[in-house]
Structure 1
Amino acid sequence: MPARKYGPTAPAVDHTVRSLAEVGGDLSGQEHDHVAFVDLDLTEVPTTGAVLDSCTFRGVRFNASGYSDTAFINCVFVRCSFFDTSFDACKFTGSLFDGCTHDLMKVGGGDWSFVGLSRAKLSRASFVGVRMREADLTGARCDGATLRDNDLSGALWEGADLSGADLRGSDLSALDPLAVTLRGARIDPWQAIVVATALGLAVD
């Protein structure tokens, strides 16, 4: 499991849930802390207004489901599937992803600060208008990803592949262009100045 920058790598578990029936069929409006959710199938199950704090999700399938105004705080996701999952105004502060799939995952708004996505395969994922301060994206596969209008201040980028990614409007102030792959990435004029300055160029 990747090292976790904030908090313990795996939160303590007080209770384990192995069937969706144990929580009433869906998680909408529920609050859980220090719970392990194991091998659940949440495919096409919509969730609104849930609060999950310091929970562990292992082998959970979130495929084709939609989440809105839901918080996953300091949670750990291990070998979970997020195929075609959408998150609208959700909070993932301090959460860690390990060995998950994110194909066609769509994130709109919300707070993903301090999230651990090191070595994650995000090539077909989309993050738009998301607060991602100090997110750990070291070694992440973001080639072809959409990362637009995000607050990525203080993010960790070393070894990330951003080939062909759409980065327009995002804060790239923490990006070392010599420590990542940027070939074909799309940036706006202001970002071009940031990148040029990081390379030691004088922009007049």
Structure 2
Amino acid sequence: MEKQFVFAGFGGQGILTTGLIIAHIGAMQDKEVTWIPSYGAEMRGGTANCTVKISDDLIGSPFVKKIDILIAMNQPSIDKFLPQMSDNGLILVNSSIIKEVPQKGNIKVVEIPAAEVCEKISYARGTNICIIGALAACTDLFDKACYEEGIRHYFAKKPQFHENNLAAFRAGYEYVAKG
């Protein structure tokens, strides 16, 4: 198994952290992982993205050629990365911001209004973690417990955020799981 991800959005949306958390979870599951960040000159509000590869085998190149899973937090991310999607790929869309995703081949699009979902649990900062919950609900990459353990472990030095982050994860998971 090898999955190639792109996480993309505006700086300040937790894009790089989201990719790093997924890479971290993969490493915790004894997978081979790569994580490469990329961001514009102006951090908050500029463009940000990162690529992640997770594989059972050694990874020959850290660069993503065909995206299996795109997590898009804004419209420019869709516009930029849609052409690089693999034929049977998956796009997770923050529909709080993105209003239209053009159709391309057999790509599955899962929309989640992450800002509204997090507003209901009173944790506006958790939209990126909510998206991780959506990812967990619509893929079989790892089981739900692995994601929760990975989130706790990643934020181990910030225990004050554990409950809010896990609530955001679970809210995203439930939103997608209920369909």
TM-score, normalization: structure 2?
0.25
Greater strand share, 1 or 2? 2
Work out which structure has the larger RCO, using CA pairs closer than 8 Å and 6 or more positions apart in sequence. 2
- Indicate the structure (1 or 2) with the bigger Cα radius of gyration: 1
Greater helix share, 1 or 2? 2
